A and B are shown apart, each in its own frame.
Chain A
Amino acid sequence: MNNGRIPKISFRNAEKTFYSSSGESHTALTAGNLDVYKGEFLCLVGPSGCGKSTAINLMAGFEQPTGGSVLIDGEPVLEPHPDRIMIFQDYGLFPWKTALDNVMFGLRCRGIKEVDAKKTALAALESVNLTAEAKRHPHELSGGMKQRVALARALAVEPGVLFMDEPFAALDAFTRLRLQDELLDIRKKRQITVIFVTHDLDEAIYLGDRVVVMAANPGRFEDIITVDLPYPRDRTEQSFDHYRKKLFHAFNLVHNSERKHSNTQQVTASL
């Protein structure tokens, strides 16, 4: 389906090794290639420690690769950029600002005048159904509301790319399901590329155009599964189950091969 399309984001043998102060090195992500296309919803799944955050931080420009390169629109990513906003699991809201002021922050950074920023911010809050909470501080909001504020803050600056690192992992199941639907709605309305990290296989199948299967020790991109289901998807359908099985299978293979590699360390399939 991606034939002939120019990638929006590409990993070109990008690798990330961390060096501890004692001089030890630890490769969080081994050299790999990956193309993400414009407007695509790409999920990264894998057990913890497989380099999901490392990969998304490289794309977002919070980290620099120690080998190879990560390109966006053909240019190496050197810095975070306001056109590509990261949503964190722990929201990253400023507790002393109201929801509205938090959403206005990104706009004020751009030098947009207060009145205009306020108008845009209110519209963004409305798009995540938080109009009534505009004047509240983060500590007065539930986890789901906080993540909506963070989402509104990102959407207010109309980014081309949204990076999300396990954004719903701390939320209860009902809130998580609702936010997944809201995210798909937003994505339908805007031309936006979404990179979404999760360790929840169902979430990945429900959201992603493609799901990147990652493996640990060392962290790497192992496989890519294209989810050929129309939105909105139905978790209870047989076709959904098909992908569920496919992903489980992929992870079993990953773990089996890992077990073969390392006799010393018992790797358990903890999904």
Chain B
Amino acid sequence: MRDKIEKLLLPALALGAFILIWQYAASHYPPEQFPTPLGVVQAISELVQQGGLWKDISISMVRLCAAYLSAVLCAIPLGLFLGRCRPCLRAIDPVVQLLRPISPIAWFPLAVLWFGIGNTPAIFIIFMAAFFPILLSTVNAVRAIPDIYYKVSRNFGARPALVFLRILIPAAFPGIMNGLHIALGTAWIHLVAGEMLGADSGLGYLIINARNYLRTDLIMAGMFLVGLLGLLLNRLITAGERLINKQWGITTQEQ
């Protein structure tokens, strides 16, 4: 009972307080500068009624999927390889360490020069945002595999292909999954940035386009939708991760 109160009532109270403070703050400004919560709700329903919203959401999702999946397909195999090949990792490490701190957004000018305005620069930026977290967590996951698994495999005479598929991949899987989780978050953040800078559709474009018309209520509506979808994506992948951790017997401190 007490647990239920803490789980539902407290967040509801906090949310209510947030809306009240927002309402209070907004009342000091003209609505075109700082819209009220109700104004944003109206803007959302306007977006829904116009019908263009679903197109923007779906195009953003397609870009996210394309970029994220290509990052997964490149980073995981490379990470598995580097995790097993110490000299290769040593060799490539300086390059990775140099590229990693560069914000994916810094690639934007080059991306537009190379690919023009449209889908590709946004996809490229999301790819850069997702690639490194997946790569590094895969490398770390492989390197953290206890030696005893290889010893047991060797003892039973397991062939390399079997060790790779049945031991290395599953042993590294929770660590990789953690990287996939982090990468999905950064990918989503950079999707909006990428679409603001180099696209003419999608949620990021929706926000930047609303600014061009000085529609702050639409800007906030767009921001709200970005937050909401990000939350949903995170929930989805967290559920997936939980399932895997449960299967693997890893107990997290949550719950």
CB distance A62 to B162 under 8 Å? Answer: no
Inter-chain CA distance A88–B248, complex, in Å, is 20
Q: Tell me whether B170 is interfacial, beta carbon within 8 Å.
A: yes
B247, A82: Cβ atoms under 8 Å? no
Contact of B156 among A96, A105, A137, A138 (CB under 8 A): A105
Q: Which B residues are in CB contact (< 8 Å) with A60?
A: 155
Measured CA separation A80–B150 after assembly (Å): 11
Collect the chain A residues with CB atoms within 8 Å of residue B248's CB: 95-96, 137
Q: How large is the interface on B (under 10, 10 to 19, 20 to 34, 35 or more residues)?
A: 20 to 34
Is the C-beta of B149 less than 8 angstroms from some C-beta in chain A? Answer: yes
Q: Which residues of B from 148 to 169 have beta carbons under 8 Å from A?
A: 148-149, 151-159, 162, 166-167
| B247 x A137 contact (CB < 8 A) | yes
In the assembled complex, the Cα of A94 lies from the Cα of B158 at a distance in Å of 14
**CB of B132 to closest CB in A, whole Å:** 26
Contact: A81 with B157, CB < 8 Å?
yes
A86 on interface, CB distance cutoff 8 Å: yes
Does A96 contact B171, Cβ atoms closer than 8 Å?
yes
A67 proximal to B (CB < 8 A): no
How many angstroms between the C-alpha atoms of A220 and B167 in the bound complex?
A: 36
Closest to A80 in B: B155
Residues 49-60 of chain A, each 1 if its beta carbon lies under 8 Å from chain B, else 0: 000000000001
Question: Contact: B148 with A109, CB < 8 Å?
Answer: no
Closest Cβ of chain A: how far from B164's Cβ, in Å? 13
Kindly list chain B residues whose C-beta atoms are within 8 Å of the C-beta of A95. Answer: 248-250
CA distance A258 to B239 in the complex (A): 60
Which B164-189 residues sit within 8 Å CB-CB of chain A? Answer: 166-167, 170-171, 173
Q: How far is the CB of B43 from chain A (nearest CB, A)?
A: 48
Are B157 and A82 in contact, CB atoms less than 8 angstroms apart?
yes
* Pair A106/B156 contact, Cβ less than 8 Å: yes
Once the chains bind, are B156 and A85 in contact (CB under 8 Å)? Answer: yes
Distance from B94 Cβ to chain A, minimum over Cβ atoms (Å)? 22
Expressed in whole angstroms, the Cα–Cα distance for A212 and B83 within the complex equals: 41
A223 CB to nearest B CB, Å: 30
CB distance from B252 to the nearest CB of A (A): 13
Chain B nearest CB, measured from A94 CB (Å): 7
B249-A82 in contact (CB<8A):
no
- B149 touching A109, Cβ below 8 Å: no
State whether the Cβ of A92 lies closer than 8 Å to any Cβ in chain B. Answer: yes
A233 interface residue per 8 A CB criterion: no
Task: Beyond A85-B155, A108-B162, list 14 extra A-B contacts (CB 8 Å).
Answer: A60-B155, A62-B154, A80-B151, A80-B155, A86-B151, A94-B149, A95-B249, A95-B250, A96-B171, A96-B249, A105-B152, A110-B156, A137-B248, A137-B249
A sample of 5 cross-chain residue pairs with beta-carbon separation below 8 angstroms, ordered by A number, consists of: A60-B155, A88-B148, A96-B171, A109-B159, A140-B249
> Which B residues fall within an 8 A CB radius of A?
148-149, 151-159, 162, 166-167, 170-171, 173, 247-251
